[in-house]
Structure 1
Amino acid sequence: MPNTFGLNRTLGGAIGVIALVSVLSSGAVLATRNQLQEATDALDRSTQVVRSLDAFRTAMLNQETGLRGYLITGRESSLEPYRAGRPALDETITRLTTLIGNDAERSRLLTDAVTAARAWQIDIGETAIREAANPATRPDAVRIEAEGRGKQFFDTLRGKLAAIDNLEERTRAEQVARVAKAQRDESFALWGGTLLTLLICAAIGVAINRLIVWPLVRVMSFVEHVGEGDLSGKLGDGGHNEIGRLGRSLNAMVSGLSDLAKTNRAATADLNAAAAEIRASAQEQAASVEQQFAAVQETAATMDQITQSGAQTARRATEVIATAQATAQTSRQGLRAVSDTAKAMDAIREQAEAVAGNIVSLSEKTQTIVDIIETVNDIWERTHLLALNAAIEAAAAGAAGAADRPSRGNGLLFRIALRGAGRVARAGHVEAG
């Protein structure tokens, strides 16, 4: 393969340049972002130091407030701010020591402030509380707090903490400036890398258009002319890349096609001469072919007759097959009807068995009803006898009272008794029925 500056190298180089610019811009952005993160961390640490200094002051003020309240009121509850301020101060000192770290000046100032705070706790706070616990020495405790030594300790620690505050304010200002500079550098690196990448992409687009697109357009136009049958054209020199090699290959192909077309035209002339000789020979053979054609027609007529006979036979066979299929269909329907009849008979047998069972059950219930009727008749007969007895007794009662009452009244009572007996008898008869 010849040594050419190929399209793969061109495109690979362009992609490599874009990748290099992207890596460089990303590295610059990361570097500035690390600077921004460091400045932000330092600013945050300085802010925490300032907050811890405020917590230091607050813890000491709480202790002083609790001590004064205890000295004024004498109540133990007044010491709660003092007692709460001591662990808060210890925690704040630990946090400040960690935040300040190895900074010599801040460590020295913090040590002086802690020394003053501890001195106040021991010389003023603890001593005053111990003396105030005894009523005899309570005035001494008040005098210790009022002498002003506590104020000296507070002035000392306030001054040291204020010095640390000033250092932290300068540090905060520096870190704010660093943050702003890092943000500007990050934006510059980001936008600069983006702009440079866009410029390189535009340059690569122009180069691709010049080295690839336009030559390909010329090649496609040449190929279209060749497809239309124009073999007279020729591509110019396309360079040493793949498109140039393609153009040279196409030129060689078109040259070969032109030579082949010339050869085909000569062969076509020879074929035309041979075709004329073949036509003359074919005309001579046409006469003999006509004679053979007549014999073939007679044979064809005979074959038509045979074909018609075969067709009639085929139709009859088709009719026989159709009749057999209809008979088979009728047989299948008969079998299905027999099967359905057998199923219906089975269903009727099952229903007859069910009806027989119901009849037996009704017979048993009828016998039960007969027994009940006999019992009712027996009860009716007894009731009838009771009714007759009641009527006889009523008649006897009416006869016995005839001596004391008029005859018309006795007859009325007798009729009433007979009616009552009759009603009882009829009622018993109706219930028995």
Structure 2
Amino acid sequence: MKLTVGVKIGAGYALALLVLAAFGILSYRNATGYVEAIGRRVSDYQLIDSLQGVMSAMQDTETGQRGYLIVGEDRYLEPYRSGIAAVDKYLSKLRSLTEANTDQQRELDALEPLVAAKLDELKETIELRKSKGFDAALKVVQTDRGKQIMDDIRKIVGQMSGRVRMSVAQLDDEISARSRMSIYGIVYGIPVAAITLSLLGLLVTRTITHQLRESIAQLSSSAAEILATTTQLASSAMETATAVSETTATVEQVKQTAQLTNQKARYVSDSAQKAANVSTVGRTAVGDAVQGMHRIQEQMESVADSIVRLSEQGQAIGEIIATVNGLAEQSNLLAVNAAIEATKAGEQGKGFGVVAQEIKSLAEQSKQATAQVRTILGDIQKATSTAVLATEQSNKAVDAGVKQTGETGESIRLLADSIGEAAQAATQIAASSQQQMVGMDQVVVAMESIKLASTQNVAGTRQAETAAQDLHTLGQRLGDLIGSRSA
């Protein structure tokens, strides 16, 4: 199977990354192992220091105890007291350092009771020296119980220190081995990786260069052929675009002529339509006028009837006024009589006299009002008579107007029919002109589309020609970059 250039380059990079990854993993493992070994070695040395610290602190406690037993002064107990504090500190540190080692934890479990027993023995002798003297304390020392405990402590501490020192020696060997591996990896791995990658790069470069030479040769040949073809196409497309532009200009002139004709036809159609609308409105207005004249005639008749009824009601009002006038005279007479009676009554009739006076005053006002109403009623009766005469004359005028309006309506109807026929003919002419205009628009749109396509073809061929030229130049540059086959 023939591999592509991209696949080959990718495979080369993948192999290079694989080599570097292997070298990196090996270096990482050596480095992490080296760091871990150093850490364990440091921890072991801390463990050894702590074990030595325990022994040194225990020896300080014995020194302080012996000095106090011999001399009997408290100042000799300073090593004893500082040794006790140091023992507690070192035992806590040993417990922390050996958390991950169960064997060492068991040894500490055995060591701590011995340390406590030794400290109790020292404390006991010190207390006896204080309370009972040197001889009593000496007897306890001579039992060798404290010496036996101290020997057991030295034994356990020595065993633990020995094992830890063996571990330190093993770690030193491991550290040395990992150091050598790291040095070997740097001294031999890097040159091997460099040589491998160089050979791989040379192989990939030769393979890709060979394929690129063949491809560039084909590319240059194809680009030359495409360039010749696109040059011919560009020339033909330019001639076609020129012809299409001339045709488009001619069609545009025809379109303008059709537009002018269509505008005139639409103007005639609109004018005829307006005349038809005016005649229709005129017919409607004449019909409305005839109906209005009839309504006026009916209203005049109604007005005449109303005037007659008004005259009759005026007579009735005159009779009512006469009756009201009689009532006013009687009320005046009654008021006079009431005033006479009130005067006769004296003080008791004063209020009644006032009422009688008011009634007399109202009666006088009623007489005056009836007189005014009688005067106004007389004027109304005169005006009513005049209105009756005017109404009769108006009825005659309305009859003549109805007759003339009917004759005018018939003339307008005939005129509207003639105008309607003319408007219909003008509308048909405008419709035909509009159809012609639509056809011309379609022709113009089609020519514009052809012109646009021709322009695009010219531009496309120019771009193709440029692209072919660029492709040919690119092939030459690639050939110059890669070099000749002999090179």
Task: Tell me the TM-score normalised to structure 2 length.
Answer: 0.44
> Which structure's relative contact order is higher, taking Cα pairs within 8 Å and 6+ residues apart?
2
Higher Cα radius of gyration: 2
Higher helix share: 2
Task: Tell me the TM-score normalised to structure 1 length.
Answer: 0.49
